[in-house]
């Protein structure tokens, strides 16, 4: 037996702004997330008086997000961000740089000294890869990410760090023996990092 508490849409702040039903739920066009106001979309339990489950709320959130994107595109209001390519400022290496083996022109780096130098001196995104030597998913993904980091060498700087504790990937419940699942993980990683659509080949890293 399940008992549900707090099934109130809490939509008081929307009263007089968008159309609500008698119980306070936001009314949307059937099969969409469109409200009575153009350009305003509703998602989650505030517009769902029937199912009110976390998984259905997440699905409606995805629908609303895609609807917003399409709305903005249709009105030429969507602005994509593309990181401008920047040249590294060429500096003579210091004695400490030479001692630590640090070269800012390289893509891959290791160590705290390199991380501090990149943070203060490099204009590029810094990607820190934490991997665990005992983690199966890490062993699968690390070479793939390494290949793709070469592909994106003009956009990112990569810090490699090993973690001796349990890797978070182990708890993702995603199958690391499935090439399509591996590719999806890699694509998600770079889309989150670069903020744009990227084409990734999970086999070759291209």
Q: Tell me which residues are annotated as active site.
A: 135, 138
The separation between the first and the last C-alpha atoms of the chain, rounded to the nearest angstrom, is 52
Distance of CA 34 to CAs 18, 108, 110, 117, 159, Å?
A: 10, 46, 49, 48, 44
Q: Which residues pair with 156 in a beta bridge?
A: 125
Name residue 108's beta-bridge partners.
Answer: 158
Token pair of 153, please?
A: 């060498």
Here the tokens at position 50 are 């029937």
Instruction: State how far the alpha carbon of 4 is from the alpha carbons of 51, 52, 53, 110, 146, in Å.
Output: 12, 10, 10, 51, 48
> Coil, helix or strand for 34?
strand
Using the CB atoms, write b or e for 113-126: b if 16+ within 10 Å.
ebbebbeeebebee
């Amino acid at each position: 037996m399940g008992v549900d508490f707090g099934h109130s849409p809490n939509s008081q702040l929307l009263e007089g702004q968008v159309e609500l039903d008698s119980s306070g739920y936001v009314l949307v066009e059937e099969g969409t997330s469109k409200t009575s106001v153009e350009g305003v979309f509703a998602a989650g339990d505030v517009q769902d008086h029937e199912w009110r489950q976390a998984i259905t709320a997440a699905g409606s959130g995805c629908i609303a997000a895609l609807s917003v994107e399409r709305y903005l595109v249709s009105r030429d209001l969507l602005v994509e961000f593309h990181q401008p390519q920047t040249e590294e400022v060429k500096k003579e290496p210091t004695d400490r740089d030479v001692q630590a083996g640090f070269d800012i022109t390289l893509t891959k780096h290791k160590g705290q000294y390199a991380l501090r130098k990149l943070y203060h001196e490099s204009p590029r995104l810094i990607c820190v890869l934490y991997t665990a030597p005992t983690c199966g998913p890490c062993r699968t993904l690390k070479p793939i990410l390494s290949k793709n980091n070469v592909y994106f060498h003009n956009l990112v700087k990569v810090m490699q760090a090993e973690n001796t504790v349990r890797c978070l990937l182990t708890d993702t419940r995603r199958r690391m023996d499935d090439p399509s699942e591996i590719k999806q993980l890699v694509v998600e990683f770079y889309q989150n990092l670069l903020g744009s659509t990227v084409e990734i080949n999970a086999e070759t890293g291209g």
